[in-house]
C-alpha cells in the first residue's frame, strides 16, 4: 500500500489593494492530506474519506462534497480524459486540518492543494503544478460558492500570485523580497466568506477604482523592486476594507497597533476575520504580531487570537512523506 502525505500552507488573499487578483502563501501553519492507494475499488466512488482530524466535525465526509476529496475526483477525471490514465484502484483520504475554518487564511485552498499534490505523486506525477492549480480553484467553488483563485493559486504555487485573468486563467508568480515577513493574527471569531462578499458594492466610482489600481501597480512594483517603503505605501484598500472592517471587532485598533509597532502596512486577510501585517524583518514582525494580539484582546469584543510570523513561502504545496 503506497501512502503519500501532502502539505499546503495558509494563504492570504486580496493583500489590501489586490481584491480578487492577488494572494500569497506563508510557510506555516498548513493542512496535511494523507492518501493511501489500494489496488481494488472499495465503493462506487474512487475516493473515500477515512477521517478528518481537527475540524470539530464541521466538514462533510461525503467525498463529492468535501473540498479535498472533490478536487482529487476532478484530478482523476482529468488524467483519464486528457492523458489516457485510467484509474481502477481506490484512494483513502485522511485530512489533518490545522487551519481554522472561515478564518480568511485560505483553509479550504490549503486542503485542496495538499490533496492534489499528494494525489499527483501517488499516481506517478502526470500533472504539473500549473495543471493542478485549476482543480484547486474548482475546489473553492465547493467550499465557498465561487471559484476564486487568490488562495488556491498561492497555496499550490507559493510566492505572491497575481491573477491577471480568469478566462483564460493567467497566473503570474511574483517572487517576494527576502526580508518580507508576515504577521498573521486569527481572532477567535468566524466570518463566512459569502457574508463578507455580500457587503461589497456591485459597482464602485471610477475614481475609487483608479485609486485602487494605482496601488495594485505600486504593490507589484514594490515587491519586484524590493522597495519595502513602497510596499507599505501601496497596502491601501479603498474598496473592500472600508466595507468589511466593521465586521471584524477591533479591526481599527488592531491595524493602528500594527502600524504603531513598525509594520509596513496592515489589512484584512482575505475576507477576514484574520488580519495580516507586513514587516521588513522577522523581529519587527514578532513585535507587530504581539501588538495586534493585544489590541484584539483589549478591544470591546476582548477577542483571544492565534498568531503566526512567517516569511513568504516560495515552494507552495509539497510532499512531506511517502511510503514505500
Q: Which residues are annotated as a binding site for ATP?
A: 100-110
- Of residues 211 and 294, the one with the C-beta less far from a copy of itself: 211
Cell numbers placing 42? 472499495
* Residue 70 in grid coordinates: 472533490
Q: Are 134 and 7 in contact (CB under 8 A)?
A: no
Single residue of 88, 124, 202, 300 touching a copy of itself by CB under 8 A: 202
Give me the least distance between CB of 257 and a copy of itself, in Å please: 24
Q: How far is the CB of 68 from a copy of itself (least distance, A)?
A: 28
Q: At its nearest, how many Å lie between a copy of itself and the CB of residue 149?
A: 10
String of DSSP letters for 232-264: HHH---SSSHHHHGGGSTTHHHHHHHHHHTT-S
Q: How many residues bind a copy of itself (CB under 8 A)?
A: 40
CA dihedral 184, 187, 193, 199 (to 10 degrees): -110
Pairing type for strands 90-96 and 47-53 reads: parallel
Q: Provide the minimum distance between the beta carbon of 206 and a copy of itself in the complex, in angstroms, as a whole number.
A: 6
Q: Which x/- pattern, by CB under 8 A, does the window 138-167 give for a copy of itself?
A: ------------------------xxxx--
Which residues 6+ apart lie within 8 Å of 232 measured at CB?
A: 222, 263, 264, 265, 278
Contacting residue, 37, 61, 101, 172, with a copy of itself by CB under 8 A: 172
Give the residue among 287, 269, 271 at the shortest CA–CA distance from 184. Answer: 269
Residues 215-274 that bind a copy of itself (CB under 8 A): 215-221, 224-225, 230, 233-234, 236, 239
Cis peptide, bond prior to residue 168, ω within 30 of zero = yes
Q: 28 or 217, CB closer to a copy of itself?
A: 217
115 is a site residue for a copy of itself (CB under 8 A):
no
CB of 149 closer than 8 Å to CB of 121: no
From 63-71, 108-116, 200-208, 278-286, span contacting a copy of itself (CB under 8 A): 200-208
* ω into 273 cis (within 30 of 0): yes
| Residue 291 CB neighbour total at 10 angstroms | 21
Write each residue from 13 to 52 as x if it is in contact with a copy of itself (CB under 8 A), else as -, in one continuous string: ----xxxxxx------------------------------
First to last CA, the chain: 8
Q: Of the ranges 59-67, 70-78, 196-204, 296-304, which one interacts with a copy of itself (CB under 8 A)? A: 196-204
Look-up of cell digits 487551519: 99
Query: Contact, 155 vs 64, CB < 8 A?
Result: no
Residue (212 or 293) nearer to a copy of itself, CB: 212
Counting contacts by CB under 8 A, is residue 199 touching a copy of itself? no
Annotated binding site: 100-110
Which is closer to a copy of itself, CB of 123 or CB of 157?
Answer: 157
Q: How far is the CB of 3 from a copy of itself (least distance, A)?
A: 39
The contacts of residue 13 (CB under 8 Å, 6+ apart) are 20, 22, 23, 104, 106, 148, 150, 151, 269, 270, 271
Q: What are phi and psi of 24, to 5 degrees?
A: -145, 160
Q: Which is nearer to a copy of itself, 161 or 309 (CB)?
A: 161
Which residues of this protein are in contact with a copy of itself, per CB under 8 A?
17-22, 162-165, 170, 172, 174, 200-206, 209-221, 224-225, 230, 233-234, 236, 239
Amino acid at each position: 500500500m503506497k501512502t503519500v502525505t501532502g502539505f499546503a500552507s495558509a494563504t492570504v488573499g486580496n493583500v489590501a489593494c489586490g481584491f480578487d487578483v492577488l494572494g500569497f502563501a506563508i510557510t506555516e501553519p498548513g493542512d496535511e492530506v494523507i492518501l493511501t492507494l489500494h489496488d481494488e475499488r472499495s465503493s462506487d466512488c474512487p475516493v473515500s474519506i477515512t477521517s478528518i482530524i481537527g475540524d470539530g466535525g464541521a466538514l462533510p465526509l461525503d467525498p463529492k462534497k468535501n473540498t479535498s476529496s472533490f478536487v482529487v475526483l476532478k484530478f482523476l477525471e482529468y488524467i483519464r480524459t486528457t492523458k489516457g490514465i485510467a484509474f481502477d484502484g481506490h484512494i483513502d483520504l485522511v485530512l489533518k486540518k490545522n487551519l481554522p475554518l472561515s478564518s480568511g487564511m485560505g483553509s479550504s485552498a490549503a486542503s485542496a492543494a495538499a490533496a492534489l499534490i499528494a494525489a499527483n505523486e501517488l499516481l506517478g506525477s502526470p500533472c504539473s503544478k500549473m495543471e493542478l492549480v485549476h482543480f484547486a480553484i474548482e475546489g473553492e467553488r465547493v467550499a465557498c460558492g465561487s471559484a476564486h483563485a487568490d488562495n488556491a493559486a498561492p497555496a499550490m504555487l507559493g510566492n505572491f500570485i497575481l491573477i491577471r485573468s480568469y478566462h483564460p486563467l493567467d497566473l503570474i508568480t511574483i517572487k517576494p523580497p527576502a526580508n518580507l515577513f508576515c504577521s498573521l493574527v486569527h481572532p477567535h471569531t468566524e466570518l463566512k466568506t459569502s457574508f463578507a462578499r455580500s457587503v461589497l458594492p456591485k459597482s464602485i466610482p471610477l475614481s475609487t477604482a483608479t485609486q485602487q489600481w494605482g496601488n495594485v501597480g505600486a504593490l507589484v512594483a514594490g515587491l519586484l523592486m524590493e522597495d519595502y517603503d513602497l510596499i507599505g505605501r501601496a497596502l491601501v484598500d479603498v474598496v473592500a476594507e472600508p466595507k468589511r472592517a466593521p465586521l471584524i471587532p477591533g479591526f481599527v485598533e488592531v491595524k493602528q497597533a500594527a502600524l504603531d509597532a513598525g509594520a509596513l502596512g496592515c489589512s484584512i486577510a482575505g475576507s477576514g476575520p484574520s488580519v495580516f501585517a507586513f514587516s521588513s524583518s522577522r523581529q519587527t514582525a514578532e513585535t507587530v504580531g504581539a501588538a495586534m494580539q493585544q489590541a484584539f484582546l483589549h478591544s470591546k469584543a476582548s477577542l483571544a487570537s492565534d498568531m503566526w510570523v512567517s516569511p513568504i513561502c516560495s515552494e507552495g504545496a509539497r510532499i512531506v512523506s511517502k511510503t514505500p
